[in-house]
Structure 1
């Protein structure tokens, strides 16, 4: 199967391990001239946040470094986004970056965990104003 092709994609990463897996999956499945890697920090919306701003930005930088280490494609830029809703933050970031598509690797978890935490992938597809591309983890697929 051939690779998909985009000029500019926005890629969501949620941590170092996810960034490493996403970089490999992106390299395997898509070609892009430009990649904007986004780490969304979910704000509590009036309640205390899970982590402080500095701690969140440090975690995001580690994710970005892991992505860069594993991805050897086109130009990579990074951005930390703060939002009360991860999907909304990704859609806004894609719009602001003028990305052709939003790309992500589906994250695991049981149906019960997804029901409790919400399904960001579903919410992203519902809210998106541009294509949303789910790419399989590099360890899955027909020729893995």
Structure 2
């Protein structure tokens, strides 16, 4: 199945592995005549210590953006990238959708343990159920 007639697809990515899986799934399931708006959110702890040094997290964002350009642009996708900072990743993604008139949010869900979901909240569920923009949950590339 190919998704067609989308203006802008907002694609949140968390890290290099997530980005690689997501971009491969996009190549298989999203027509290349859309704009892919890749967003990486650096979660700020709001007073608590951050999870990793800011410089390392910014370099990670640069890497996932380079992956998008190298993987998707050569086969016809238009790609935009955006780095965001915020205390709530899902709120930041929703803000990107609103600010850029996103037609859909597309992502490959990352596996996590039940304990991880309980402690950190189920981001996949929140992303798919909060808001009025359609969400395309892409399958992980199995080839």
Q: Scaled by the length of structure 1, what TM-score is found?
A: 0.88
**Is the contact made by 1:19 and 1:66 (CA closer than 8 Å) also made in structure 2?**
yes
Question: Could you tell me how far 1:115 is from its partner in structure 2?
Answer: 1.9
Q: How does 1:22-33 map to 2 (within 5 A)?
A: 22-31=22-31, 32-33=33-34
Counterpart residue number, 1:48: 49
User: How many residues in Structure 1 have an aligned counterpart in Structure 2?
Assistant: 139
Unaligned runs of 5+ in 1: none
Q: Deviations over 1:36-88 (max 9, x none)?
A: 00011111012222233332211100111122222234210100111111111
Is the CA contact (8 Å cut-off) linking 1:39 and 1:80 kept in structure 2? yes
Q: Please report how far the alpha carbon of residue 97 of structure 1 lies from its aligned counterpart in structure 2 after TM superposition.
A: 1.5
Shift of 1:19: 0.7
Bigger mean CA deviation after superposition, 65-74 or 82-91 = 65-74
Q: Give deviations 1:101-131, integer Å, cap 9, x for gaps.
A: 1111010122222222211111112322311
- Mapped to 1, the partners of 2:119 and 2:129 lie a distance apart of 18
Q: How does 1:16-95 map to 2 (within 5 A)?
A: 16-31=16-31, 32-71=33-72, 72-95=75-98
Per the normalisation by structure 2, the TM-score is 0.89
Q: Distance in 2 between matches of 1:127 and 1:44?
A: 22
Q: Which range is displaced more, 107-116 or 130-139?
A: 107-116
Q: Distance in 2 between matches of 1:80 and 1:9?
A: 16
Most deviating of 29-38 and 68-77: 68-77
1:115 and 2:114 are equivalent in the alignment: no
Q: Which moved more, 1:108-117 or 1:82-91?
A: 108-117
Q: What is the aligned-residue RMSD (CA, Å)? A: 1.5
